[in-house]
Amino acid sequence: MTMSTAYPLDSLKAHPPYLAPAYVASRTRSPRRPLVIIPHTLSELSGPVYGHESVRDLDNDLTRQHDGEPLGQRIVVRGVVMDEDGRPLPGTLIEIWQANAAGRYIHAVDQHPAPLDHNFTGAGRCVTDPKGRYSFTTIKPGAYPWRNHPNAWRPNHIHFSLFGPSFLTRLVTQMYFPGDPLIPLDPIACSVDEKARERLIAKFDIATTVPEWALGFRFDLILRGRSATPFEEPRS
């Protein structure tokens, strides 16, 4: 466990409200009463520490988890995880999960008629290095339908979960791809205000692109503060 300095109690300005009526599930998930503010104690100001021994070197390569290669556009997503003052955060566990190239999750609940890919599970993880850097190799996820509203399709996205230095720096969010026409139609992305939403969209990066191999995208994350990477879920 590590001790951290104090955090402002109100660090939610970057995040969407709990209730975003166009995102239908938020109507039942959002609180009906004002939140109870509880002073921070060691339970909030400390956090778990992850060692490299529990995360294997290949856990960040989703294209090499099976005998064959998954179908789809191979991509590299890399970036830096920072705190609200722009300092890199080493030792931060990042977990990702995503649909395959056809937009299908390997999950019993996902039964929409798109093919599974037996060479793609769609989950990976890594720990940021001493400079706060991370990198994943994967395939570009497809868009998929959901039943939030008529003809609703989620934009291409990768789910991200991060544990920073304290439990207050926990972040669960989604990374989108630049130029996706589904983003302005998506109630989850649009529950985040337009300016903050830009922080959820990766940038195409020719310097990350690997010749003859994979397109590269850059996605930096900021944990807490006014410039924080927004949560995926509507908040108050």
Residues labelled catalytic:
105, 144, 154, 157, 159
* Cα–Cα distance measured from residue 182 to residue 234, given in angstroms and rounded to the nearest whole number: 19
* Cα–Cα distance measured from residue 101 to residue 143, given in angstroms and rounded to the nearest whole number: 8
Please, where are the H alpha helices in the chain?
25-29, 42-45, 187-190, 194-197
Run of H or E including 216:
strand 215-218
Short-list 111, 114, 118, 113, CA closest to 70: 118
Contact indicator for 176, 2 with CB cutoff of 8 Å: no
Q: Exposure pattern of 42-57 as b/e (b: 16+ CB <10 Å)?
A: eebbbbeebeeeebee
**Cβ atoms within 10 Å of 36's Cβ, excluding its own:** 6
Contact indicator for 188, 154 with CB cutoff of 8 Å: yes
Contact indicator for 120, 53 with CB cutoff of 8 Å: no
